[in-house]
């Protein structure tokens, strides 16, 4: 018999999304519950699940990112491994998983960018769109300001030249490769980007 959590998650998320979360293999029950909580009563129209493993200071970390499109919102969920520092109040727990969700109104999404990688472009087959794509989604929820002390280029100069910096909006970039992630995942990335592009263009 399904638990209450499984019943709620199954009622909210489409089977295709649940299957992709399961296939990603990173604590699928946790990820599905977090995504379902963020989606709420909305209907998921399209989605993309991207799993990645990175090595950080000789530590292997697993990550999964889920982006889901509804008629009103873009849901961004990210879960990964986290090892607390010895000074952390939760250090006694050892390694933990952290999961974060963000809800972005479609009206705030500024753009969807696709970067295609084409091996052997001289033999490109029409409609194939390459073997790798990076989907970058930007929105205006928060702007990030990066400031650094300004310099004049003279290493011996001790004058205060103020600060220089840049302002960048929120964005997310997901790289999907047919060779690493499979043809189905590459097609899913293309389908999702088309659906999101159409939704923000209305």
* Lowest mean pLDDT segment, chosen from 4-8, 106-110, 144-148: 4-8
Q: Which residue has the higher pLDDT, 92 or 125?
A: 125
Which band of pLDDT confidence, cut at 50, 70 and 90, is reported for residue 151? confident
Residue 145 pLDDT more than 70? no
Residue 57 CB partners (closer than 8 Å, separation 6+): none
Domain annotation covers residue 53: yes
Domain annotation covers residue 73: yes
Domain annotation covers residue 104: yes
**Cα first-last separation, the chain:** 43
* pTM for the whole structure: 0.78
* Lowest mean pLDDT segment, chosen from 42-46, 64-68, 167-171, 190-194: 167-171
**Helix spans in the chain (H):** 4-12, 15-24, 28-39, 178-181, 183-200
Token pair of 14, please? Answer: 């489409």
**Closest to 174 measured CA to CA, from 23, 63, 74:** 63
In angstroms, rounded to a whole number, what is the distance separating the alpha carbons of residues 74 and 79? 17
Domain annotation covers residue 54: yes
* Lowest mean pLDDT segment, chosen from 23-27, 79-83, 191-195: 79-83
Domain annotation covers residue 117: no
Residue 65 pLDDT more than 90? yes
Supply the mean pLDDT for the chain: 84
Residue 3 pLDDT more than 60? no
- Please tell me the total count of domains within the chain: 1
Domain annotation covers residue 199: no
- Whole domain around residue 24: which residue ranges? 4-108
In angstroms, rounded to a whole number, what is the distance separating the alpha carbons of residues 186 and 61? 23
Domain annotation covers residue 94: yes
Residue-level pLDDT at 48:
98
Residue 8 pLDDT more than 60? no
Domain annotation covers residue 187: no
């Amino acid at each position: 018999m399904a638990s209450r959590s499984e019943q709620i998650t199954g009622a909210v998320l489409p089977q295709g999304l649940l299957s992709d979360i399961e296939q990603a293999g990173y604590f699928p029950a946790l990820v599905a519950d977090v995504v379902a909580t963020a989606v709420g009563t909305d209907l998921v129209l399209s989605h993309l699940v991207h799993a990645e493993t990175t090595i950080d200071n000789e530590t292997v970390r697993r990550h999964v990112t889920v982006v889901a499109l509804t008629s009103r919102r873009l849901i961004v969920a990210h879960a990964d491994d986290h090892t607390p520092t010895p000074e952390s109040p939760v250090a006694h727990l050892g390694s933990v998983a952290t999961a974060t969700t963000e809800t972005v109104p479609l009206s705030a999404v500024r753009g969807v960018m696709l970067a295609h990688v084409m091996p052997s472009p001289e033999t490109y087959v029409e409609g194939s769109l390459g073997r790798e794509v990076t989907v970058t989604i930007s929105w205006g929820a928060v702007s990030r300001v990066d400031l650094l002390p300004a310099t004049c280029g003279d290493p011996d100069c001790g004058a205060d030249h103020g600060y220089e910096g840049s302002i960048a909006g929120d964005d997310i970039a997901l790289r999907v490769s047919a060779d690493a992630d499979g043809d189905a995942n590459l097609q899913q990335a293309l389908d999702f980007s088309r659906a999101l592009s159409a939704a923000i263009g209305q």
